[in-house]
Amino acid sequence: MISSLELGLKGKVAIVAGGGGPLEGIGNGRAAAILLADAGAKVVVVDKEIDLAQNTVDMIKKRDGKAIGIAGDLTISDECKKVVDFALENWGRLDILDNNIGIASKLSVVEETEEHWDRVMNVNLKPMFLMSKFAIPAMISSGDGGSIVNISSISATRPKGLTSYSASKGAVLSLSQAMAVDHGKNGIRVNCILPGPVYTPMVYSEGMTESHRSQRQNASLIEMEGTGWDIGKAVVYLCSEWARYVTGHLMVVDGGCSLSARPRG
């Protein structure tokens, strides 16, 4: 069994942006928050609604982890600063930022409205910029560098439509690598995860037939369905001491979907 000492996360402070969720569903952010806490980190769970953040906090505390929740609209600069200040006021330092916030769109450029295009870009990219803007100085002042993980999508490199979503997630790749270049000298590692079609509340809350779910599963080369836990485990690795020499990396976590010509729904 891997100990929290081996991972080097015990006593670290992590912000998980978009770490909340309804009831018991396990999304990418919630899984990352729970697993970071399991590894010994103190976790600040952020969601737009405090009840959603608190659901995750309660799950962490049931596993004897340490977590606190805060509400914030992370498309707003002052709200992002408030979250970072909250982490510093409660736990005195900041070491990790996991950026999970995102919304989908299924329209082509012909079908897409300008208003919705702007919303997708604003929600999927701006929080990563703003949270990092305030988190990086806090990490530097904490004295041990830090780790930032941004969540993109395999749609960034292998689009299947979802045009504005794919464009926004492609920008996340470039942002992550540019940040890695800018802040490596400060001891801050920045990496990006590209999930495949994982089964999360964001996916199934709008309804999904068994045939559609089976199609997504069979798109994997290993015919396996991914979940939020798979993405959360990748986050823990990238934030851990095991990945101390990894930065600017684009980590695909998709069961081989992006190598396959099989339809993924």
Amino acid identity at 28: N
186, 201, 163: which is closest to 47 by C-alpha? Answer: 201
Tell me, yes or no, if 245 is annotated catalytic: no
In the chain, domain spans: 4-259
Q: Could you say which DSSP state residue 179 is in?
A: H
196 in Cβ contact with 253 (< 8 Å): yes
- Find the catalytic residue in 42, 132, 166, 169: 169
- pLDDT, tens only, 203-241: 665 666 677 667 777 778 988 889 999 999 999 999 999
Highest mean pLDDT: which range of 103-107, 119-123, 259-263? 119-123
Distance CA 22, CA 158 (A): 30
- pLDDT, tens only, 29-50: 999 999 999 999 999 999 999 9
| Better-scored residue on pLDDT, 1 or 95 | 95
- Find the catalytic residue in 132, 165, 199, 240: 165
Question: Which two three-digit tokens encode residue 133?
Answer: 């803007």
3-state secondary structure of 47: strand
- Find the catalytic residue in 152, 153, 166, 240: 152
Confidence of residue 145 (pLDDT cuts 50, 70, 90): very high
Q: Helix H segments across 143-253?
A: 163-183, 201-204, 210-218, 228-239
Tell me, yes or no, if 169 is annotated catalytic: yes
CATH fold label, 4-259: Rossmann fold (3.40.50)
